[in-house]
Amino acid sequence: MALKTHFDETPNVNLTPMIDIVFLLIIFFMVGTKFTELEQQLQLELPQISAADQPNPQPVNRVINVYRDGRVALEQELLSLDELIEQLRSARTQHNRLGVIVRGDADGPLQNVATVLGACRQAGISDLGISVRLAKKE
C-alpha cells in the first residue's frame, strides 16, 4: 500500500493591497491639503454680527474654600451658607452649566465639605468637584 505524503505550503502574506491603500491615503491627504490652502486664499467678505449677538463666554469653575474652622469663602470672600447659596443661584442664572470646585482643608472635618456640597446642590449646581493634590513620595 502506497502512503501519500502531504506537505502543507507555508502561507504567504501578500502586501500589495496594503501598499496600494497606503499610497491612496497619501494621495488623498495631499489633495485635501491643497484644497484647504486654496480655500484660505479666496477673497471673501465675512459676515458680521452686532456685539449684542455675541454668545456669552464659557463660565470658569467657581472655587469655594472650606477652612478648618468651618468658614466658607467663595472667590476669596467669606460667606455664610445662605449667602453662598444665593451667590451661586445668581451666578447660575447667568451660566446654566456653572461648575464649582470645593477645596477643603485636609485637617478639617469632612462634615464641613459635605455641608458645602449640599449647599451647592441646593443652589442647583450639578457640576461639582473636590480639589486634592498628590502626596509627595517619601
Domain boundaries, the chain: 59-130
pTM over 0.95: no
C-alpha cell belonging to residue 5? 505524503
How confident is the model at residue 81, as a pLDDT? 92
DSSP string, 17-79: HHHHHHHHHHHHHHHHHHHHHHHHHS--------GGGSPPPPPPPEEEEE-TTS-EEETTEEE
Q: What's the pLDDT tens digit per position in 22-40?
A: 999 999 988 887 766 665 5
Instruction: Identify the DSSP state of 106.
Output: T
Average pLDDT over residues 13-18: 90
Confidence of residue 98 (pLDDT cuts 50, 70, 90): confident
Fold of 59-130: Nucleotidyltransferase; domain 5 (3.30.420)
DSSP three-state, residue 53: helix
Q: DSSP assignment, residue 51? A: G
pLDDT of residue 41: 60
